[in-house]
Amino acid sequence: MSKRVLFAVLLLTLGAIGDCAAAQSLIKLTIGGKTQSFSQAELLARPDAAEIHVPQDVAYGTSATYRAVPLADLLDATALPADSVLEARATDGFAAQLPMDLVRNRDPAIAVAWLAVEDPAQPWPKLPGKPVSPGPFYLVWVGRGAASVRSEQWPYQIAQLATQPSPSARWPVLAVDPALPATDPIRAGQSLFITQCLACHRLNHAGSADTGPDLPMNPVEYFQPAALSRYIRNPASVRDWPGRTMPAFPQDQLSDREIDLIVAYLAYMAQRKVGQ
């Protein structure tokens, strides 16, 4: 092989290596104000990375196998307020609010969070009906309690994980009146709204998500209660359009009673609107 050909091969090889490196995505972790970034290769090479099997994957709707890192291993032991959350921000503006006691749990009798990492050399299949996979970083759950983790607590295409104050402390306009009894169903509706709805929507201009439309006008002001409940259950059954991203919520993710609680919370908050 001539020196010229050898040099050309070397350049092509270096270019391929450079392209592979450039293809690596980063995830940013901010825990208690301390920020670190990890590439796909760094996470896949960690000694705690393992192959895990997810019997019922929320994104794919079937079983799936991933190379993943226990999320608790990435979250240091920094002392945080008891009601802190881990905010998972996705590249499309989705922003899940995850309780710290849940994401730090290691007991398989409950649910254990793993950060699944897509290998650029072995891309994951595309999501059903979508042109993308859930990678490069996807939060999945295993353990006997994994089925109880709600659909919006399986964020994918994650770009950043950051500890934050509780949503009601961070955005007081989301909170109910402190005088409301602890057992009042409106409080349960608030918790459900924060878990299932705030990941995509803002309410009273509060929230950090950019996926779904903001709700400066409360939905109970333009939906009859029955229509709003039906819309939450399955948006396409009420109105549909090519750009719709809001999914349907099956009974195992939101029961009729839980939807009623969300609607009751929204009706309550319609009386506590902030200035436009």
The confidence score (pLDDT) of residue 140 equals 98
Do 30 and 148 belong to one domain? yes
- Would you state the pLDDT for residue 177? 93
Indicate if 56 and 133 belong to the same structural domain: yes
Measuring CA to CA, which residue among 247, 250, 270 is closest to residue 94? Answer: 247
Question: In this structure, is residue 252 part of a structural domain?
Answer: yes
Predicted confidence at residue 62, as pLDDT, reads: 95
Q: Are residues 44 and 148 in the same domain?
A: yes
Same domain, 64 and 139: yes
DSSP 39-105: EHHHHHTSTT-EEEEESS-TTTSS-EEEEEEEHHHHS------TT-EEEEEETTS-EEEEEHHHHT-
pLDDT of residue 6: 43
pLDDT of the residue at 72: 95
pLDDT value, residue 80: 84
Instruction: Name which of 259, 269, 81, 241 is nearest 176 in CA terms.
Output: 269
Residue 263 has pLDDT above 70, yes or no: yes
49/64 same-domain check: yes
126/195 same-domain check = no
User: CATH number for the domain including 240?
Assistant: 2.60.40.420
- Tell me, yes or no, whether 250 lies in a domain: yes
The pLDDT value recorded for residue 10 is 42
- The answer to whether the beta carbons of residues 163 and 80 sit under 8 Å apart is yes
Surface-to-core class of residue 38, CB atoms within 10 Å of its CB (0-12 exposed, 13-18 middle, 19+ buried): buried
Let me know whether 97 and 60 are in one domain: yes
pLDDT at 2: 52
Average pLDDT score over residue span 237-251: 86
Q: Has this prediction a pTM greater than 0.75?
A: yes
Share of residues in the chain with pLDDT > 90 (%): 70
pLDDT at 21 over 50: no
Q: Which domain holds residue 75?
A: 25-165
Into how many domains does the chain fold?
Answer: 2
- Report, as an integer, the average pLDDT of 145-151: 93
Query: Does residue 189 sit in the same domain as residue 139?
Result: no
Structural domain includes residue 50: yes
At residue 23, the pLDDT reads 65
| From 38-47, 122-131, 265-274, the region with the lowest mean pLDDT | 265-274
Q: What is the pLDDT of residue 225?
A: 86
Q: Which of 165, 198, 214 is the last residue of a domain?
A: 165
Quick one: 117 and 211 in the same domain? no
pLDDT tens, position by position, 179-230: 999 999 999 999 999 999 999 999 988 999 988 777 777 888 888 889 999 9
Distances (CA, A) of 144 to 27, 61, 99, 123, 159: 28, 18, 18, 28, 28
Q: Please check whether residues 181 and 123 belong to one and the same domain.
A: no
| Nearest Cα to Cα of residue 208 among 30, 103, 26, 86 | 86
User: Does residue 276 have a pLDDT over 70?
Assistant: no
Taking CB atoms within 8 Å and a gap of at least 24, the contacts of 119-126 are 119/40, 119/44, 119/67, 120/20, 120/23, 120/24, 120/40, 121/20, 125/60
Q: What is the CATH number of the domain that holds 152?
A: 3.90.420.10
pLDDT tens track for 42-66: 999 999 999 999 999 999 999 999 9
2 within some domain:
no
**Long-range Cβ contact pairs of 166-172 (< 8 A, separation 24 or more):** 166/81, 166/83, 166/84, 166/85, 167/85, 167/97, 167/194, 167/198, 167/206, 167/207, 168/194, 169/83, 171/204, 171/206, 171/207
Mean pLDDT within 19-44:
85
Distance between CA atoms of 228 and 101, rounded to whole angstroms?
A: 32
Contact 135, 123 (CB under 8 A): yes
Which of 144, 165, 186 is at the close of a domain? Answer: 165
Question: Is there a domain that residue 196 lies in?
Answer: yes
* Residue that has been written with the tokens 């709600």 in this structure: 150
- Average confidence (pLDDT) over 54-80: 93
Rg, C-alpha atoms of the chain: 21
* Structural domain contains residue 15: no
Q: Are residues 72 and 156 in the same domain?
A: yes
pLDDT at 17 over 60: no
Which of 119, 146, 165 finishes a domain?
165
Residue 19 predicted with pLDDT over 50: no
pLDDT at 68 over 70: yes
Average pLDDT, the chain: 88
Give the other-Cβ count within 10 Å of 28's Cβ: 14
The amino acid occupying position 265 is Y
CB-based contacts of 162, cutoff 8 Å, min separation 6: 28, 29, 30, 31, 86, 87, 89
> Is there a single domain that holds both residue 214 and residue 94?
no
Whether 237 is covered by a domain: the verdict is yes
Answer whether residue 48 is part of any domain: yes
